[in-house]
Amino acid sequence: MTPSVRVSFIAMALLVAACTPNGIDSSGGSGGGGGGVNHVVDVNLTLNQPVQTPYGQSGGMKPPVTNVKVGDTVTFMNSDGFAHTSTSITPAQSMNETKFPSQYPFTGKALNQAGSTLSGGWTSGAMQAGSGSQVVTADKPGTYLYGCFFHYGAPMRGAIVAK
């Protein structure tokens, strides 16, 4: 990543963070208040090469495994030149070993943005180039797998581990 690209990406991430501090639909959640750290996952199939993780092959997401604390939030930023989604693979596994399913796990529902907690499941909908997701709150400990509706088989997948 060139310095200028890095700077613009950081600026974009900060802008998103600044614009969405209260964009949390807490219905059904246990809350937990503010004060958590927001983690920005870079969504880019072009740049983020596949790597092996404890959950299987991850790709397109940086970091491949995002470690968070309960009360933190996660947002996804598409820095690529074409559309992606961040869509949870349900059911979420609670701290158990789990793997990316070999079969395609999504339906067309992935394209309608929904969900604001890790445990409740989420999908960003189609994030166009340069755009981001809603804020997703790490409400409960667990290992949460997700992928891209369009490129799951690429592989375009990641994990979030909340403790």
**Counting contacts by CB under 5 A, is residue 61 touching Cu ion?**
no
The H-or-E segment that residue 6 falls in is helix 3-19
Candidates 4-12, 19-27, 104-112, 149-157: pick the segment binding Cu ion (CB under 5 A).
Answer: 149-157
Output the smallest distance, CB 83 to Cu ion, in A: 7
Core vs surface per residue 76-103: b (16+ CB within 10 A) or e: bbbbbeebbbbbbbbebeeeeebebeee
**Counting contacts by CB under 5 A, is residue 151 touching Cu ion?**
yes
Output the smallest distance, CB 154 to Cu ion, in A: 7
> What's the CA gap between 83 and 33, in Å, rounded?
32
**Counting contacts by CB under 5 A, is residue 148 touching Cu ion?**
yes
CA angle 145, 22, 94 (to 5 degrees): 25
Q: Which of 156, 159, 160, 162 binds Cu ion (CB under 5 A)?
A: 156
Output the smallest distance, CB 110 to Cu ion, in A: 11
> What's the CA gap between 55 and 105, in Å, rounded?
15
> What's the CA gap between 150 and 81, in Å, rounded?
14
Phi-psi region of 162 (alpha: psi -120 to 50; beta: other; left: phi over 0): beta
* Smaller CB separation from Cu ion, 84 or 140: 84
**Counting contacts by CB under 5 A, is residue 62 touching Cu ion?**
no
- The footprint of Cu ion on residues 67-106 (CB under 5 A) is 84
Output the smallest distance, CB 42 to Cu ion, in A: 12
How many amino acids of this chain bind Cu ion (CB under 5 A)?
5
* Smaller CB separation from Cu ion, 62 or 151: 151
Please give the residue ranges that form the binding site for Cu ion (CB under 5 A): 84, 148, 150-151, 156
